[in-house]
Structure 1
Amino acid sequence: MLKATTIHQQYEQARKDNIRILIIGAGVAGITAAQMLRRDGQHPVLIERNKDEGHPGYMLALMPMVDQALEDLGVREHYRQNSIPLNRYGFHAHTGRMLRIDSMSSILDRYGDYRGIARGKLIETLTSTGCNVSFNTTVTGLDESSGGTTVTFDSAGETCQLEFDLVIIADGIHSTTRNLVLGGSKVDVVDTKWGGWVVWAPEDIHMDLGEELWGAGFFLGIYPVKGELGVFLGGSRVDTKVGPNAFVEDIRRKLTSTSPRLDSTLKAITSDPEPYYWSLKDCRTPTWAIGRTVLLGDAAAGFLPTAGIGAGMAMESAWVLTRILRHAQRDTVVSLLQAYEKAQRPRVEAAQNTSRRLAGLMFHRSRPLAVLRDVMMRIVSVETAIKPIQKLLANQPNPDHVAKDALKRM
């Protein structure tokens, strides 16, 4: 569980380490990195801008690239208890009719686990041994010198300055700290101009089956987690301005075939008093490693949800980074951060490219294009769509090799 503590209490421990580390952002990437470092005997300072844990979030589908991090953290069994296997993927035509059901287990089981989990349950899993964090704390200044980085904080209204040897920025796709180090460097953003509502629906008897309906002007995704179904219903932001009730009513008029699950999930959208609206954008930064500072997770590369891989890549990146840092001393931090970016950035951006390509395929308002897409999907399995991700899974990173090679070159 997350345990609120002051930044000064955390720093008392961190300043005794051979490398004083700050992690900004207590999301999936930041918590994974903090817990990995703590498992290795370090005492990183973890801060979070929110005043408390906030909304736990919604559903995640995690591919096997997270397995090694879970194993190293000693929480693999806890994870399996809090999640469910996603064995099948169902694809609906734009009219609602089920076109095909593919076996995800036959595609991914050779690499490891593919499971559905609520974000809150994942955080609970990652912090099951306890996780100190300073809430209501933001960074307002970063001043790097040869001796380290002086960081200025606003913590619960109090201003203070502390010195670190390494700063990990993991405060999400809308990172404010990122601007302090990138300055005027442009962040590449893909705006799909779509958005939609995320809600929970009751579980049913098909909890190993994830489903998607790529409609003409709308998208419906149904993703099981333990005890619930995560639902996303989206469309062009121009069209969704009418609100969830009117948008669902329009979809029902377009469907010529339905099912109890489709009906239940559409009702969940309209019955939720405050469904969360998600504008579908991503981001890609021009560089990750800047001196003694490094961007991690969505702060480095924020994903569209179309391939269901963003959280998994964030956890993998946190694992790779912290494994590399096992080899670090104060005078080698800069070189090792550069080596981390060189090794991990191509993997993350390859996965991000897959998400972007799928978005281009999914998000259309044209009915003729939807018909053509249905024809294609009758003969093409989901395995074809995620082939690039399979390549990543088949070629796991070797952070120890990356670190040792970088140190040899110094």
Structure 2
Amino acid sequence: MRILIVGAGIGGMTLAALLKQRGYHPTLIERAPDFEHAGYMLGLWPLGYRVLHGLGLYEQFAAETLECRHYEVRDNHGELVKHWSMAPISDRFGPNLSCTRPQLIKLLHSAIDDLDLRFNTTLDTLYDDGETATVAFSDGRTETFDLVVGADGIHSKVRQMIFGDQPYYHTNWGGWVWWVGLDQVPQETFIEHWGAGRFFGIYPTTQGAGIYAGAPVTDDFSQPGPGRNQRIRDRFAGMGELVETCLESLPDDNSDLFFWKLSDVRAKEWTRGRVVLLGDAAAGFLPTAGIGASMAMESAAVLADELSRTNTQFLEHALALYVKRRQHRVESTQNDSRHLAKMMFIKSATVSHIRDVATKFYSLEQLAGSIAKAFDEPI
């Protein structure tokens, strides 16, 4: 089966590694020039990294990552609202492991060493005649495939080509991302400050702690260049000593700093003819529950499973089964991420105070119902 995977991100690379293990030799294309700037921090739940056991990569992954043993929510002034131990989940299913996205991408890359991976390459056209899919690439080549997998992220070109515009969900919040030294923050604890009109998250990895400083994107908060550093400092002043320590590591105004707008997307259809969507291309995730990478890896495992049970003649039926196994589960966890965003991102001081009081009574399972339930459900 001739398979093209568009996008060498977590979903695409996981699928490629699993297909290679089954004897397939898919082609991957990636618009970036390399993996050197492949993203920032992420937490991987056992929902996703279970796939690494089958690829023989889990032990290396676990050795290179940090276990998140605790999760803390603090208020607008840095006072503790709620502390959760991750033990009820980790003791039963496995720990939440924190890493950088480049770490995971490079690990997956090690499992596809001899596959055809083309950097600096995008799609120009995609034509599905019902029997095959013909693709014209940005490098001038034209090739024919039995299946095209759109794993090209939240702004998927494959999705746009086949399904047109799909509904985005906008929080109207965004934030700056930077790194601080691991010695400057508590290790093994994810800490989030849920403020009024501001949010400050601290996520340790073995490579340092990733910082996300978010606020509504309605003013000059999102503007780069002169004054950026001071605007960020002013916005998050008074959030406590730990936040102040992280603000001291802010790069200067001339440094490249990523501004992450918090939106997601949901495709109404995941497959048509010989084209199928995977990962964020099918359903993008807000980072609020740290579940997007795990869902992409799960989906890749299911798609590889269904492809290994069919041939080109009955391919469309296999793709339909993949959607039946995945779409409801993915959209349910996506809904939980959206619900958490509504809890985390509040402008009003009064409403945020009410939220803080209510949060004291939440269990970890209640905070993200569908996600907690998913640990004990088959896929």
TM range (shorter): over 0.9
Which of 40, 56, 75 is matched with 1:58 structurally?
A: 40
**Cα drift, residue 270 of structure 1:** 5.0
Contact map agreement 2:132 2:144 (CA 8 A) in 1: yes
Are the aligned partners of 1:92 and 1:212 in contact in 2 as well (CA < 8 Å)? yes
With over 3 angstroms needed to count, the CA separation of the structure-2 counterparts of 1:320 and 1:291, relative to structure 1, is: same
Contact 2:16 2:112 (C-alpha < 8 Å) held by counterparts: no
Range that drifts further, 61-70 or 342-351: 61-70
How much has 1:250 moved relative to structure 2? 3.2
Verify the 8 A CA contact 2:72 2:189 in the aligned structure 1. yes
1:271 is displaced (CA, Å) by 4.7
What is the root-mean-square deviation in Å for CA atoms of aligned residues? 1.6
Kept in 2: contact 1:94–1:374 (CA 8 A):
no
Secondary structure of the structure 1 residue equivalent to 2:16:
helix
Query: 1:266 is matched by which residue type in structure 2?
Result: L
Q: Which range moves more in the overlay, 174-183 or 364-373?
A: 174-183
Identity %: 38
Structure 1 position 198 matched with structure 2 position 177: yes
* 1:246 counterpart = 2:253: no
User: Which residue in the other structure is 1:264 paired with?
Assistant: 245
Instruction: Please name the residue that 1:170 is paired with.
Output: 151
Give the superposition deviation at 1:152: 1.4
The DSSP-based 3-state class of the residue aligned with 1:53 is coil
- What is the alpha-carbon distance in structure 2 between the residues aligned to residue 270 and residue 150 of structure 1? 46
* 1:170-190 deviation line (CA, Å, top 9, x unaligned): 01111122211113xx41111
Deviation of 1:237 after TM superposition, in Å, equals 0.6
Aligned partner (choices 295, 299, 304) of residue 281 of structure 2: 299
How big is the shift at 1:244? 4.1
Q: Is 1:152 the counterpart of 2:136 in the alignment? A: yes
Q: Deviations over 1:10-60 (max 9, x none)?
A: xxxxxxxxx110000011111111111111111000111122324131100
| Deviation at residue 110 of structure 1 after TM alignment | 1.0
* Number of residues of Structure 1 aligned to a counterpart in Structure 2: 370
Q: Which amino acid aligns with 1:192?
A: T
Q: Conserved in 1, the CA contact under 8 Å of 2:15 and 2:304?
A: yes
Secondary structure of the 1:22 match is strand
Distance 2:326 2:6 in 1: 20
What is the DSSP-based 3-state SS (H/G/I as helix, E as strand, rest coil) of the residue aligned with 1:301? coil
**Partner SS for 2:153:** coil
Aligned counterparts, 1:2-401, within 5 A: 19-131=1-113, 132=115, 133-155=117-139, 159-183=140-164, 186-204=165-183, 206-239=186-219, 240-241=221-222, 243-252=228-237, 254-255=238-239, 258-259=240-241, 261-269=242-250, 271=252, 273-397=255-379
Q: Which moved more, 1:29-38 or 1:237-246?
A: 237-246
- Larger helix percent: 1
Q: TM-score, normalised by structure 2?
A: 0.93
Distance 2:244 2:172 in 1: 26
Distance 2:44 2:123 in 1: 30
**Paired residue secondary structure (1:232):** strand
**Quick one: which amino acid aligns to residue 149 of structure 1?**
A
Separation (CA, whole Å) in 1 of partners of 2:154 and 2:234: 32
| TM-score normalised to structure 1 length | 0.87
Are the counterparts in 1 of residues 67 and 97 from structure 2 also a CA contact under 8 Å? Answer: yes
Gaps of 5+ in 1: 1-18, 398-410
Q: Tell me, yes or no, if the aligned pair for 2:70 and 2:190 is still in contact at 8 Å.
A: yes
**Contact preservation (8 Å) 2:198, 2:235:** no
Unaligned runs of 5+ in 2: none
Q: How far is the alpha carbon of 1:235 from its aligned partner?
A: 0.2
Q: Secondary structure of 1:151's partner? A: strand
Q: Does the 8 A contact of 1:197 with 1:269 survive in 2? A: no
**Bigger Cα displacement from structure 2, 297-306 vs 121-130:** 121-130
